[in-house]
Structure 1
Amino acid sequence: MGRKKKGRSVKRNPQATALEPDELTRAPHSFVIHRGSVGKYVRQLTLDFRKIMEPFTASSLIVRKKNTLKDFASVSGLLNVSHLVMFTCTELGPYMRVARLPQGPTLTFKIHDYCLARDVISSLKRQMPHSRYYSDPPLVVLNGFSVTSSQNTSHMKLMATMFQGMFPTINVTKINLNNVRRCLLFNYDAETKKIDVRHFGIRVSPVGLSKGMKKLVKGKVPNLAKYDDVADFLIKDEQLSESEAEDDPNSHVTLPQKISSRGNLVANKSAVRLTQIGPRLTIQLIKVEGGLLDGEVMYHEYIVKTPEEIALIEKRRLEKRKLKEKRKRQQEKNVKEKQQKKEELKRKSLEGMRMKNQNDSVDAKPLKEAQDDDDAEWYRKEVGKDPEPGIN
C-alpha cells in the first residue's frame, strides 16, 4: 500500500510543520476587527489598520456575527495574540478600542478624523512601491507623551505603554537597516488632547549628487541625443535635485550599514525621506477600563465621579461577581448531581440485566424437561408405544 498523502489543510497548518522561532513567538500579535454596523468606510479602515500591524497580525481574519469577544480571548493564548484592536460606530461617530488580551486593560478612543490609505496614496505625485514594506514591523515614534509630573499622568503612561507594546521592540545593536521600511508616528497635542496617527514609508537617498549623476547611480538610462559627450550631461546640471534641495540638513545621516538601494554607501551621507502611505487618524482617549471591555473605569474624559459613587459602583460590581460565582457553583453542583444520577441508573440497569440472565439460566433446565415430557406423550398417542431411549 502507498503512503497516504497529506491534504491541503494539513500542509497549511503551522502546527503540522516546524514550530516558529522564539523571536517570532515572543513578538506581539494582534487581532484587528470591527463589530456591529460600521459602514463600508470603517470596514476599509479596519483593513488599512491591519496593514499597519503587519506582519504580526491576522491579515485574512474573517469575523462572523456569532463570534463573541470570549472567542477571541480564548484562542489568544494558543495563537500568541496579545492585543485586540476593535472598530465600532455609534450615532456620535466611529470609535477605536485597544485591549490587552486576555484580561485587559482596554483603552477607548474617539475617532475625530480619518483618511483611508487609498486616498492618501492617490494624492501623492509620486507613488511608492509600498507592497514590499509590510514584510517587517514599523518603527514606532511617540511624540508629546512626556508631560509634567504635576498632572495626572497615569492614563498617559498607560497609553504610551500600550502603543509601544503593540509592536516588537527593536534591538539597536543588532538591527538591520534594510528591514526598517516603515514608521508609525503617534503625536499627542496637550492643548486639544488629540493624537495624530501617521504612517510613513522610509526611503534613503544619497546626497550631494546632481540630477544627471543621480540618474546614472540609480541605473536609469538618460536621453543623450542632444549632447555631444556624456560629460556635457554631467556638467550641465551641477545643482542638486529638487527633492534634495528641500531636504532638512538634520535629516542627513551617515550610514553605519550597507543599504540595498543604489548610491547609499557605508560611511557616506544620505538623506532619510518619509512618504505618507496611510491611513491617517486623529483620535482622542476618552476612557480606560481595567478589564477586557469591562471592569473598573480607571479614567474618563467627560465623566468624573465622586468617591461615594465610585464606592457604590465597586460594591455593585462585587455583588454581581459574587452572584455570578454563586450561580457557577450551583451549576457545577447540578451537573455533578446529574452525573451521579446517570451513574446510579446505569448501575441499576446493569444489575437488572445480570439478575435477568441468572433467572433465565435457572429456569432453562425445567423448561427443557417439561418440553421433553410433552414430546414423549405425543409420541405415545400417535404411535401407541413408548419412545426408545435417546430419541428426542
Structure 2
Amino acid sequence: MGRKQRGRAARNARRKLPPNFETDEVRRAPHVLVFKRGVSVGNNVKELIRDMRRVMEPFTAPNLKVSRKNALKDFIAISNHFHVTHLMTFSKTQLSTYMRLIRVPRGPTLNFRIRRFTHSRDIVSALKRPQTFPKQFEHAPLLVMNGFQDDAIHIKLIATMFQNMFPSINVTNVDLSTIKRCVLLSLDPVNGLVEFRHYNIKIAPSGISRAAKKLLQGKVPDLSKFNDISDFMYREGNASESEDESMGNDENEVILSQQLRSRGNLKSNQSAIRLTEIGPRMTLELVKIEDGLCDGEVLYHTHISKTSEEVAELRQRTIEKKRLKEQRKREQEENVKRKQDKKKKTSPENQDDDMNEESDNDDGDDEDEDEE
C-alpha cells in the first residue's frame, strides 16, 4: 500500500491543475524579469532589486536566482516559454548605479542612470500609518504618467516602454476592487529627470462621521461613556480622516461607478481616494537608447551628439562588424564539422573494420597461391 500524501503534496494533488492552467489574460499580460548584471552590485542595489520585484508583482519572478554564469542570452532564450516581454537589469560602477530596460526579443534598450533611490523599508518606517498588506500585491499596479506629452522621439520611447511593462486596463469593465496600487512616473521638462513613485490606493467613504464609519466597517464602539447612541453619533469633532484630508480639496473625491468590497463604498456614492507611498523611490536620468538587445545602433544619447556623416560611418562599421561575426561563425561551424568527420574516420571501430578487410584480402591471396 502506497504512503499517504500529507501537507503540500496532498494539497497539490487535490488541485489537479491541467498542463496549461494559465488563463488567456495571464498569457497576454506583460511579464518582467528583474535581476542584476555584473560581478558585485552591493547590498543596497540588491535590496532595490527586491523592491522592484515587489512593484512588478504578480507578473514577475520574485525568487529568481541569477548566477555569474548566466548570460543575457539565457534569459532571452526562456522568455518565450514564460511569456517574458521585458527585462529590467541593475548594474553598478564606480561612477553610479544604472538601470536598463530591454524589450524582448527585438529591443529597443533604454539605459538609465539612477541619480537617487530610497528603499521601501525606509519609506514605510517614516510613515505614521503605513499601508502595507500582502493582498495589495495580488494584482498589477495602475500606471499614471505625467509630463510625457512632448513629441521628441526619446520621450515617446520612454512612455511606450513603461506603458508596455504594465497590463492595460479596460475602463468599461475593470473591477475597481483589484486596483490596490499605482506607479507614478513624472517627467521634469527642465532637467529631463524621471521621478518614479509607488503608492498604495485606499478608497474611504467621505461625508460621513467617524462614528458612522466605524459602524460601517463592523467595529464595535465603546458606548460606556455615552448615555445614548445619538451622543456617540453626533458628538463634536467627529469628522472622519478622509473628511479631514479632503477639506477644501475636491480633487481626491469621486463618485463610484460600482460598489467596492470594502464597507461603506457604495455605488453612486461619494468616496475619497487616499494615496500612501510604499516605495521604492527613484530619480532616473536617461543616458541612451539602443536599437536591438544592448548591441544595436544608438538611437539617442543624452550627452553625445553626432553629425549625419558620423552616424553613417558608425552604421557602416556596425554592418561590417556583424558581417565579420557571421563569417567567423560559419568558419567555426565548418571547422567543427571537419574535425568530427576526421574523428569518425580515425575511431577504433573504423580501424578494426579496415584491419578485417585487409585480412580478408590476405586470405584470398593465399588461396590463389595454393591453386597454382
Pair in the same fold by TM > 0.5: yes
Q: Are 2:252 and 2:272, in contact at CA under 8 Å, matched by a contact in 1?
A: yes
Return closer, same or farther for 1:78/1:357 CA change in 2, 3 Å cut-off.
farther
Q: Are 2:206 and 2:242, in contact at CA under 8 Å, matched by a contact in 1?
A: no
Q: Which amino acid is 1:30 matched to? A: V
Please name the residue that 1:62 is paired with: 65
Return closer, same or farther for 1:353/1:21 CA change in 2, 3 Å cut-off.
farther
Shift, 1:38, TM fit: 1.7
Q: Which amino acid is 1:209 matched to? A: I
Please name the residue that 2:25 is paired with: 23
**TM-score normalised by L of structure 2:** 0.88
Please name the residue that 2:139 is paired with: 136
Q: Are 1:210 and 1:238, in contact at CA under 8 Å, matched by a contact in 2?
A: no
Q: Are 1:87 and 1:97, in contact at CA under 8 Å, matched by a contact in 2?
A: yes
- Distance (whole Å) between structure 2 residues aligned to residue 140 and residue 353 of structure 1: 76
- Distance (whole Å) between structure 2 residues aligned to residue 258 and residue 359 of structure 1: 96
1:269-280 map, 5 Å: 269-280=270-281
* % same residue: 47
User: Per-residue displacement from partner, 1:110-143 (whole Å, max 9, x unpaired)?
Assistant: 1111111001111111121332110000000111
Q: Does the residue aligned with 1:314 lie in a helix, a strand or coil?
A: helix
Q: Does the residue aligned with 2:195 lie in a helix, a strand or coil?
A: strand
Q: Are 1:204 and 1:271, in contact at CA under 8 Å, matched by a contact in 2?
A: yes
The reply to whether residue 45 of structure 1 matches residue 48 of structure 2 is yes
Return closer, same or farther for 1:15/1:63 CA change in 2, 3 Å cut-off.
farther
Q: Does the residue aligned with 2:204 lie in a helix, a strand or coil?
A: strand
User: Per-residue displacement from partner, 1:276-303 (whole Å, max 9, x unpaired)?
Assistant: 1111111111110112122111101101
1:214-293 map, 5 Å: 214-237=213-236, 239-247=238-246, 248-293=249-294
- Distance (whole Å) between structure 1 residues aligned to residue 159 and residue 319 of structure 2: 30
User: Per-residue displacement from partner, 1:152-207 (whole Å, max 9, x unpaired)?
Assistant: x1111111000000011112222111111110110111011111111111111011
Please name the residue that 1:389 is paired with: none
Please name the residue that 1:189 is paired with: 188
- Distance (whole Å) between structure 2 residues aligned to residue 249 and residue 54 of structure 1: 32
- Distance (whole Å) between structure 2 residues aligned to residue 142 and residue 42 of structure 1: 25
Q: Are 1:194 and 1:282, in contact at CA under 8 Å, matched by a contact in 2?
A: yes
Q: Does the residue aligned with 2:100 lie in a helix, a strand or coil?
A: strand
Q: Does the residue aligned with 1:45 lie in a helix, a strand or coil?
A: helix
Q: Which amino acid is 1:17 matched to? A: P
Q: Which amino acid is 1:299 matched to? A: Y
Please name the residue that 1:201 is paired with: 200
User: Per-residue displacement from partner, 1:67-88 (whole Å, max 9, x unpaired)?
Assistant: 1111111111121111111111
Q: Are 2:85 and 2:103, in contact at CA under 8 Å, matched by a contact in 1?
A: yes
Q: Which amino acid is 1:26 matched to? A: R
**TM-score normalised by L of structure 1:** 0.84
- Distance (whole Å) between structure 1 residues aligned to residue 311 and residue 276 of structure 2: 47
Q: Judge which range, 238-247 or 103-112, deviates more.
A: 238-247
Shift, 1:60, TM fit: 0.3
Please name the residue that 2:159 is paired with: 160
Gaps of 5+ in 2: 366-372
Return closer, same or farther for 1:348/1:84 CA change in 2, 3 Å cut-off.
same
- Distance (whole Å) between structure 2 residues aligned to residue 268 and residue 123 of structure 1: 33
Q: Does the residue aligned with 1:249 lie in a helix, a strand or coil?
A: coil
Shift, 1:245, TM fit: 2.2
Return closer, same or farther for 1:58/1:360 CA change in 2, 3 Å cut-off.
farther
1:91-110 map, 5 Å: 91-110=94-113
Structure number with bigger Rg: 1
Give the total of aligned pairs: 355
Return closer, same or farther for 1:284/1:224 CA change in 2, 3 Å cut-off.
same
- Distance (whole Å) between structure 2 residues aligned to residue 39 and residue 15 of structure 1: 40
Q: Are 1:137 and 1:167, in contact at CA under 8 Å, matched by a contact in 2?
A: yes
- Distance (whole Å) between structure 1 residues aligned to residue 170 and residue 359 of structure 2: 77
Shift, 1:361, TM fit: 9.7
Shift, 1:2, TM fit: 6.9
- Distance (whole Å) between structure 2 residues aligned to residue 55 and residue 94 of structure 1: 26
- Distance (whole Å) between structure 2 residues aligned to residue 312 and residue 27 of structure 1: 40
- Distance (whole Å) between structure 2 residues aligned to residue 142 and residue 75 of structure 1: 31
Q: Are 1:186 and 1:197, in contact at CA under 8 Å, matched by a contact in 2?
A: yes
Q: Which amino acid is 2:272 matched to? A: A
Return closer, same or farther for 1:360/1:170 CA change in 2, 3 Å cut-off.
farther
Shift, 1:355, TM fit: 3.1
Q: Are 1:83 and 1:100, in contact at CA under 8 Å, matched by a contact in 2?
A: yes
Return closer, same or farther for 1:124/1:2 CA change in 2, 3 Å cut-off.
closer
Q: Does the residue aligned with 1:205 lie in a helix, a strand or coil?
A: strand
The reply to whether residue 299 of structure 1 matches residue 293 of structure 2 is no
- Distance (whole Å) between structure 2 residues aligned to residue 335 and residue 179 of structure 1: 56
User: Per-residue displacement from partner, 1:59-114 (whole Å, max 9, x unpaired)?
Assistant: 10011111111111111112111111111111221111111122321101111111
User: Per-residue displacement from partner, 1:223-263 (whole Å, max 9, x unpaired)?
Assistant: 22221111111111365224422223122112122211111
Q: Are 1:211 and 1:237, in contact at CA under 8 Å, matched by a contact in 2?
A: no
Q: Does the residue aligned with 2:123 lie in a helix, a strand or coil?
A: helix
Please tell me the root mean square deviation across aligned C-alpha atoms, in Å: 2.8
Return closer, same or farther for 1:357/1:225 CA change in 2, 3 Å cut-off.
farther
1:326-345 map, 5 Å: 326-345=327-346
Q: Which amino acid is 1:125 matched to? A: K
From 135, 145, 149, give the equivalent of 1:146: 149
From 29, 35, 47, give the equivalent of 2:37: 35
- Distance (whole Å) between structure 2 residues aligned to residue 230 and residue 124 of structure 1: 34
